[in-house]
Amino acid sequence: MKHQLKIYCQTTALSDLRLFMQTTLRELQVSEKDQHQLTLAVEEVCANLIIHSHQCNGKDQIQLIIKDSPEKIIFEITDEGKAFNLLDYEVPDLKKVVSEKRKGGLGIILVKTIMDEIEFESNKGTNTCRLIKWFRS
């Protein structure tokens, strides 16, 4: 089963993204705790793309496809902006974030902690970030 959403690159679209995530994950009978955390992780990636790769340009779009199977859910986020490969970024030290009074960096910690696998590929100007969550019974 495949679920698909396209949003414009504006931070105000993040609430639409959350609604789509929650509705889809509820349909897939994901626990409330996982619904919340998976929504957060996908939003963090999309917010990063909207702000850093697309500079909040409302003409650009991001596509999210959710694919589920009994053992895992794949969140595939596609855009055509400047490639932002999460895997290139190290998880920052929390104490450093505090001492440098940084407001960024926390999103990467959340995505890497919540998701089980992260894949990234860039091909002819199209970037695909795949976030994978395994559900082992």
Partner 1 sequence: MLTIEKQQENSSYILVLKGEIDASNSVMLDQAMQDLIATGTKSILVDCEGLEYISSAGLGVFMSYLEDFQEQEIDLKIYALSTRVFEVFKILGLDQLISIYANKKAALEA
Q: For the window 29-68, what string marks contact with partner 1 as x by the rule CB under 8 A?
A: ---xx--xx-xx--xx--x--xx-----------------
- C-alpha 133/C-alpha 71 separation (Å) is 9
Query: Which is nearer to partner 1, 74 or 110 (by Cβ)?
Result: 110
Asked if residue 90 binds partner 1 (CB under 8 A), the reply is no
Query: CA 126 → CA 60, 106, 122, 123, distances in Å?
Result: 13, 26, 6, 5
Amino acid at 12: T
Interface with partner 1 by CB under 8 A: which residues? 10-12, 14-15, 18, 32-33, 36-37, 39-40, 43-44, 47, 50-51, 94, 97-99, 101-107, 109-110, 113-114
